[in-house]
């Protein structure tokens, strides 16, 4: 059982969601086009997650989670608006800003992955 | 399946492969570069086709070209080596030279009915490269082997061919 994304009630509304799909299409002659998606797992979600005001304990929870998962180990999360949980992987760097001595702003991105 | 060729979209194009080492004394691998994903529940499972489960692994076949002139194409098969999935087979069976590769192609709408395009067969002729990330094999189509003879006899210029005359009269 994969771990779950922690502190989901702390994810800010400034977080953003994208969906990508790899489609190839051909349109010759008078413009009639045919399209296909190459492969089964080509439509994946991604989120840029923002945690705006974290205290030191919360920040440590998130930092430990990031260090544990890195960019290599997947976890689960039911994203906003989704009806079921999906499997995700952290994409790119962990970024944090100290708002004050005790409060932090954290951001990182995740992408959906397809695993057994 | 052919009636759908004119549609603008007929589902996801899917390729999956068999690597057959049984003639070499090894296993019969079923590989697909994807997993089945249920968009209603989010559940994943191994790709299934015609009752056979295909193990997910990054795998791709490139360079398949049909030509009427010149040498036949020599496609390359690239497989992930991140988890060293084929390492023991490669060591045991001389780089898998001579192993049969079967390429299956279909669209997602036809997976349930187990319908597919004509399968393509290849033979591994050489292991081109192996590193931490991938293994690359050079493939041949089965007839593209130097010295291969047609079954039963070799056609020789001096002996002629049954039914073919060199002097205008048919041999008795």
- Sign, CA dihedral B79-B85-B91-B96, equals negative
Bridge partner list, B146: none
- Give me the pLDDT at residue B66, please: 77
Distance CA A85, CA A82 (A): 7
Would you call A77 helix, strand, or coil by DSSP? strand
Contact A39 B45 (CB under 8 A): no
What does chain B look like in DSSP terms, one character per residue? Answer: -GGGGGSSEEEEEEEEEEEE-GGGT--EEEEES-EEE-TTT--EEEEEETTEEEEE--EEEE-----SSSSPP--EEEEE-TT-TTHHHHHHTGGGTT-EEEEEEEEGGGTTTT--SPPEEEEEEEEEEE-SSEEEEEEE-TT--TT---SS---BTTTBBTTB-SSSS---
- pLDDT tens over chain B, length 172 residues: 666 777 777 788 999 999 999 999 999 999 999 998 888 888 899 999 999 999 999 999 999 887 777 777 889 999 999 999 999 999 999 999 999 999 999 998 888 889 998 899 999 999 999 999 999 999 998 765 555 555 555 555 555 555 555 555 554 4
- Give me the pLDDT at residue B81, please: 95
Which chain B residue has its CA at the smallest distance from A39's CA? B14
Distance CA B64, CA B73 (A): 6
What residues of chain A lie within 8 A of the CB of B13, using their CB?
Answer: 36-39
Task: Please name the member of A35, A37, A41 whose beta carbon is closest to the beta carbon of B35.
Answer: A41
Contact A34 B37 (CB under 8 A): no
Which chain B residue has its CA at the smallest distance from A41's CA? B34
Distance CA B16, CA A94 (A): 36
Nearest residue to B107 (alpha-carbon basis) of B98, B97, B116, B99: B116
Distance CA B116, CA B160 (A): 43
What residues of chain A lie within 8 A of the CB of B108, using their CB?
Answer: 40
A45 touches chain B (CB under 8 A): no
The answer to whether A91 touches A110, Cβ cutoff 8 Å, is: yes
Nearest residue to B56 (alpha-carbon basis) of B87, B26, B74, B82: B82
Q: Quote the pTM value.
A: 0.80
Q: Can you tell me the ipTM of this complex?
A: 0.80
Which chain B residue has its CA at the smallest distance from A112's CA? B42
- Give me the pLDDT at residue B147, please: 53
Q: In this model, does residue A112 exceed pLDDT 60? A: yes
- Give me the pLDDT at residue B171, please: 47
pLDDT, mean of residues A94-110? 92
The CATH number given to A3-112 is: 2.40.30
Count how many residues are written for chain A.
116
In tens, the pLDDT along A31-73 reads 888 888 888 888 889 999 999 999 999 999 999 999 999 999 9
CA–CA min distance B103, chain A (Å): 14
- Give me the pLDDT at residue A16, please: 96
- Give me the pLDDT at residue B71, please: 75
Cβ-in-10-Å burial (0-12, 13-18, 19+) of B11 comes to middle
In tens, the pLDDT along B56-89 reads 999 999 998 877 777 778 899 999 999 999 999 9
Selected residues 70-129 of chain B with any CB under 8 Å from a CB in chain A: 107-108
Cβ-in-10-Å burial (0-12, 13-18, 19+) of B86 comes to buried
């Amino acid at each position: 059982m994969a771990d779950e994304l922690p502190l989901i009630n702390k994810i800010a509304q400034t977080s953003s969601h994208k969906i990508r799909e790899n489609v190839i299409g051909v349109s010759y002659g008078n413009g009639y086009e045919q399209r296909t998606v190459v492969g089964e797992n080509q439509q994946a979600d991604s989120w840029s997650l923002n945690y705006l005001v974290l205290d030191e304990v919360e920040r440590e929870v998130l930092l430990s989670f990031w260090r544990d998962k890195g960019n290599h180990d997947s976890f689960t999360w039911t994203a906003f608006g989704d009806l079921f949980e999906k499997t995700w992987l952290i994409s790119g760097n962990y970024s944090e800003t100290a708002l004050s001595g005790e409060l932090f702003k954290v951001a990182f991105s995740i992408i959906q992955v397809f695993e057994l | 399946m052919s009636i759908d060729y004119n549609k603008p979209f007929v589902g996801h194009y899917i390729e999956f492969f068999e690597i057959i080492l049984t003639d070499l004394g090894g296993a019969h691998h079923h590989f697909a570069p994807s997993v089945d994903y249920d968009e209603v529940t989010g559940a994943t499972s191994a790709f299934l086709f015609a009752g056979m489960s295909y193990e997910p692994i990054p795998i791709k076949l490139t360079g398949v070209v049909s030509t009427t002139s010149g040498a036949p194409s020599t496609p390359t098969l690239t497989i992930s080596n991140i988890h060293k999935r084929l390492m023991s087979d490669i060591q045991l069976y001389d780089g898998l030279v001579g192993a049969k590769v079967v390429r299956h192609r279909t669209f997602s709408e036809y997976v349930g009915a187990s319908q597919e395009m004509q399968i393509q067969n290849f033979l591994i002729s050489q292991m081109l490269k192996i590193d931490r990330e991938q293994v690359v094999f050079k493939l041949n189509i089965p007839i593209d082997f130097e010295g291969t003879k047609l079954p039963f006899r070799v056609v020789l210029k001096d002996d002629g061919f049954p039914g073919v005359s060199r002097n205008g009269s048919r041999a008795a």
